[in-house]
Chains A and B, each alone.
Chain A
Amino acid sequence: MSINADTVKHVANLARLNISDDEVESHTNQLSQILGLMDQLNSLPTDNVEPMTHAVDMLMPAREDVVVNGDSREILLNCAPDSEDGHFRVPKIIE
């Protein structure tokens, strides 16, 4: 399966990545090549195979729904590029 430049631009938008015209070209070529590798899977019949979603057969463990981390707001905000009054700060969203 090969993909075209429009698809690459669409996928880049979904992935929230700015890409230059040069990158559109290289991604189109390389992703087409890689997807070509994937097509060999079509030769393998899998109609009655259960998809494997986890490496180990186990159920997700549940725990009591209680706070265990405590209040770490200041510590986490310290990691942010920009914060103010206990919040993450980003450019204005609504005009």
Chain B
Amino acid sequence: MLSDPTTLTLAKLSELLKKRQISSEDLVNTFLEKIESQNPNINAYITVDKAGAIKAAKDADARLDAKQGEALTGIPIGVKDLFCTKGLLTTCASKILHNFIPPYESTVTSRLKAAGAVVLGKTNMDEFAMGSSNETSHFGVVKNPWDHSRIPGGSSGGSAAAVSASLCSATIGTDTGGSIRQPAALTGITGFKPTYGRVSRFGMIAFASSLDQAGPMTKTAQDSALMLQTMAGHDAKDATSINAPVPDYMASLNDGLKGRKIGIPAEYFASGLSQDVATVIEEAKKQFTDLGAELVPVSLPTTKHAIPTYYILAPAEASSNLARYDGVRFGYRCEDPQDIKDLYFRTRAEGFGSEVKRRIMLGTYVLSSGYYDAYYLKAQKVRRLIADDFKAAFAKVDLLLAPTTPDTAFKLGAKTDDPVQMYLSDIFTINVNLAGLPAISIPCGFDKTNLPIGLQLIGRPLDESGILSAAHAYQQATDWHTRSPIL
């Protein structure tokens, strides 16, 4: 038995499982013990499915014994509590779904389970994925494993913290405006948002349907490649799923950076970027040049308009999506409703938290009669300009390199009373969602107080392979991704 298998990469664990040098059951038990001792400090999990995990691990061991394992067979993972898991509580971190046990399984989790992955539990998040700090969860804030007085980022903050603290081998998150990449950057892990439509949204609880996309959160780019291989692909149950073949991500992982043109968008290095982040990203740029890439200055002039655009479109879609929570068909219902109106109004007022209500109000307002053209239509037009900026840049370069966040993790509570300041922390991630592009965040250094910093690689539509091989090349030459917080 190894000393501490929880800190190993998914790729390494997969190898040990296949060689039968470790059993999935032992591995799962080790993770479960670690969750039991560490989760109370970090609050990364909302639900831990001990019995289900042990049963799945035994099945995986049988499969591995019969030499029928795949890369993910027996690998313990966490699942953001936004993916419906049949028979297992799925709350979206909201009181309104505090008792919801889905009668069906999301496509992503069903693919991962079919590949033999073992679900340890459901990870904490901002309520309905609305937040950048994981402070809006009905089940309490998640703490950053690097510094418990700081936020882990959001909305997939529990997923990020769970990987960072090695409370699972990998997790799946969702990214509507940066919710995979921003917490990945702030907790020192790798987080990958694929092209919109690459991964099925069936069974994901909807926030903003034209922006939501699921992706892996892992210790390395290689681990993300292994996860995405199973997650990606067309699904007839999702009308926006892209019907294109899924390439072999592992086959191109070692393609390297020689001759690749990487654009440096000027707008991502302008005011607002902290000195420590700027310094670390400069170092990383040099590393990419050393590895054979050619850095090319580019401009994405509409960048500064992305925040208002996003905070019109996403709440508009959310207000429509969240109309379904009415206390009639599932989830929370208020006590003793006087009539149907009281039932709707009180169920929603009591069931939703303040950030969710704020976004429902905002979305309802921008879609309401008399304001639709001024806000919603205008934002849809600006969204086109933002996407066109990227198109023009990708005519000249293969990838874009930028910081994932303007600063490192802030203190818990620092921005909770100021929604505008909170929204501005998404400045470098939301453009990518508006354009539907794939992008990864990988660790690239630390600030003066030892908090992780992430860099982002953005690619052309469906060029997940190009992003993964570039990130892998950087991780082969650096060791930032191997650093772990002391728990």
Contacts and interface: CB of A to CB of B under 8 A. Distances in A.
B58 to A, nearest CB: 27
Contacts of B487: none
Given A40-B308, A41-B379, A51-B380, A31 B361 contact: yes
Given A34-B419, A41-B309, A76-B103, A56 B385 contact: no
Residue of A17, A35, A75, A76 with most partner-chain B CB within 10 A:
A17
A31 B358 contact: yes
A46 B360 contact: no
Interface in B272-286: none
Contacts of B304: 40
Contact residues of B: prevailing secondary structure: helix
Contacts of A76: 103, 329
A22 B349 CA distance: 13
Contact of B308 (A41, A53, A54): A41
B436 A55 contact: yes
Contact of B242 (A7, A56, A93): A56
A93 B341 CA distance: 9
Contacts, number: 158
Given A30-B358, A31-B358, A37-B423, A54 B345 contact: no
A60 B239 CA distance: 6
For chain B, give the interface size range. 35 or more
Interface in A26-75: 27, 30-31, 33-35, 37-42, 44, 46, 49-56, 58, 60-61, 63, 72, 75
Interface size range of chain A in the complex: 35 or more
Contacts of B436: 55-56
A8 interface: yes
Contacts of A93: 339-340
A56 B243 CA distance: 12
A17 B361 CA distance: 9
A15 B360 contact: yes
A27 B352 CA distance: 15
A48 to B, nearest CB: 9
26 contacts: A7-B365, A15-B361, A17-B349, A17-B360, A18-B349, A27-B357, A27-B361, A31-B361, A31-B365, A33-B419, A37-B311, A37-B420, A38-B311, A54-B210, A55-B211, A55-B434, A56-B197, A56-B240, A58-B242, A72-B103, A76-B329, A79-B101, A79-B331, A81-B330, A90-B340, A91-B340
Interface of B: 100-101, 103, 195-197, 210-211, 236, 239-240, 242-243, 302, 304-305, 307-309, 311-312, 319, 323, 326-333, 337-340, 342-346, 348-349, 352, 357-358, 360-362, 364-365, 368, 375, 377-385, 387, 419-420, 423, 433-436, 461
Given A34-B423, A42-B378, A79-B330, 11 more contacts: A3-B365, A11-B361, A17-B349, A23-B357, A31-B365, A33-B419, A34-B311, A37-B307, A46-B378, A79-B101, A90-B343
